[in-house]
Amino acid sequence: MADRFAIILAAGKGTRMKSPRPKVLHEVGGRPMLAWSVALAEALGCKRSVVVVGPDMPALSEAAAKLVGAANVVVQREQLGTANAVDAARGALSGVEGQAIVLYADTPLVPKEAGERAFAEIEKGAGVCVLGFKAKLPNRYGRLVTTGDGSLEAIVEANDASEEQLAIELANSGVMAAPVRLMFDLLKDVKNDNAKGEYYLTDLVGLARGRGLKAAVAHCEERDVLGVNSQAELAGIEHIFQQAMREKLMADGVTMPAPETVYFSHDTKIAPGVTIEPNVVFATGVSVASGALIRAFSHLEGAKVGEGAIVGPYARLRPGAVIGRHAHIGNFVEVKNVTVGEGAKANHLSYLGDGEIGAGANIGAGTIFCNYDGFFKYRTVVGEGAFVGSNTSLVAPVTIGAGGYVGSGSVIVEDVPADALAIARGRQAGKDGWAKAFRAEKSAVKKAGKKPDGAI
């Protein structure tokens, strides 16, 4: 197979987004749209990806450099059309041999299979291959004019199309593949004699056919190649992504009573046999093993949930949370960078940050891992089978030994040995009859129309 390369166009200003963030850095499924295109190129086996940005776009250039390397970020100095944008990559791909695919950084959901079909047509001898689809409302798209054998004759932009051509349903996605050397050779002959006065990449089809080369169409679905130009379109793409994830996971054996209320990220991994209750959000970096139950209104990010574990309702798992087999993380419990051992439980109202909880340990309601002194973070270790009573503050660094007990309401600042009891709270004192005398005194003052000093 020939070497593959990708040219990713990201120079659009995105003014309709009305956002200070560059358009293609807006996220779909928790991943910037530009990163979707880079990931597609990697999935297609592209040896290099060149990202074309516009001038004066430092944030985008920096983000692109992190994804593909600074040497593979090039600038389209003037906005003169798609052919001009692709031509900006000429220097970066100078001397390479193989095939190139042109992708768009604001079109994040192109499936790998569609790209493979485009490359396959080039492998079979086509000079150019365009990804096309049947549009429900084709008016804004360029039309793909085909011959009787299905090969591509021409691409006509909607502004330049005749009435007969506007009746064509097969539309142009903009994604195009061709041998690298041929693509840049054809670009030299592109003219701007059209309604917009721009240099269209689509002209490569006619130019290739003029040299006796075949132009082909690889087919995909319209939803695969929808682009983003506004916040509303971004939300629409997000909806398509989420719906596809829900359908895939349910087909794989995940139970969701209200799937339309559950949100996933591009890298969410849910095993068959998991149940997800309504209104759960999976941010990036989450995996959930079979048999786990994620209860309603929970938020998970950068976390691993073990087999048969229960999380929620109203739980928050932050990056570094590792919940062991059959462990329980209950309502209003936040876990950050803590490994929770098999069968351990923290069922109510706790913050567990930076540490380790051993198998079978019990964390009482209102427990706080006091992990931060304003400058540094410290670890808390709770041993296997330990019991931490309610309303306890564990001031890190501190270790509760295996089987140790901590009395409710304690502030623990020293290690607790295994199987020991630690109590750290003030001694309770009592005064018989005090409350009755207090009420009588205050009632008399109030009845006399007076207020004690400092009262409002």
| Claim to verify: residue 199 and residue 235 sit in the same structural domain | no
Whether residue 437 is contained in a domain is answered as no
**Domain-terminating residue out of 204, 225, 246:** 225
Residues 247 and 297 in one domain: yes
Answer yes or no: do 349 and 216 share one domain.
Answer: no
What are the structure tokens assigned to 149, written together? 């054998």
81-107 pLDDT, tens digit per residue, is 999 999 999 999 999 999 999 999 999
In this structure, the answer to whether residues 298 and 211 fall within a common structural domain is no
Task: Give the pLDDT confidence of 210-229 residue by residue, as tens digits.
Answer: 999 999 999 999 999 999 99
Q: Which domain holds residue 327?
A: 231-422
Q: Does some domain include residue 439? A: no
Instruction: Note whether residue 252 is domain-resident.
Output: yes
Same domain, 236 and 220: no
Domain finish residue from 169, 197, 225 = 225
Residue 455 forms part of a structural domain: no
Residue pair 306/325 in contact (Cβ under 8 Å)? The answer is yes
Report residue 197's pLDDT band, with 50, 70 and 90 as the boundaries: confident
Q: 157 and 70: one domain? A: yes
Biggest CA–CA distance in the chain, Å, is 108
**Burial (CB count within 10 angstroms: exposed 0-12, middle 13-18, buried 19+), residue 165:** middle
- Domain assignment present for 440: no
Share of the chain above pLDDT 90, in %: 89
In a domain, residue 169? The reply is yes
CATH code of 221's domain: 3.90.550.10
Spatial CB neighbours of 115, under 8 Å, sequence gap ≥ 6: 40, 43, 44, 101, 131, 175, 177
Nearest 5°: phi and psi at 172? -95, 130
Are 131 and 247 contained in the same domain?
no
* Position 160 confidence tier, pLDDT thresholds 50, 70, 90: confident
* C-alpha–C-alpha distance, residues 278 and 253, integer Å: 17
Does residue 372 form part of some domain?
A: yes
Could you tell me the pLDDT band of residue 51, with boundaries at 50, 70 and 90? very high
Q: What is the CATH number of the domain that holds 412?
A: 2.160.10.10
Mean pLDDT throughout 201-207? 94
> What is the three-class DSSP state of 8?
strand
Let me know whether 172 and 249 are in one domain. Answer: no
Tens digits of residue pLDDT in 52-84 = 999 989 999 999 999 999 999 999 999 899 999
Alpha carbons 380 and 393: distance in angstroms, whole number: 11
Question: What is residue 243's predicted lDDT score, i.e. its pLDDT?
Answer: 98
Nearest Cα neighbor of 225 from 173, 176, 177, 266 is: 173
Q: Tell me: do 303 and 191 sit in the same domain.
A: no
DSSP state of 255: B
For residue 299, indicate whether it is catalytic: no
Global pTM? 0.92
How many domains in the chain? 2
User: Span 243-256, mean pLDDT?
Assistant: 98
366 belongs to a structural domain: yes
256, 360: one domain: yes
Same domain as 264, residue 357 = yes
- Select which of 266, 299, 328, 348 is catalytic: 348
Task: Tell me, yes or no, whether 36 and 175 share the same domain.
Answer: yes
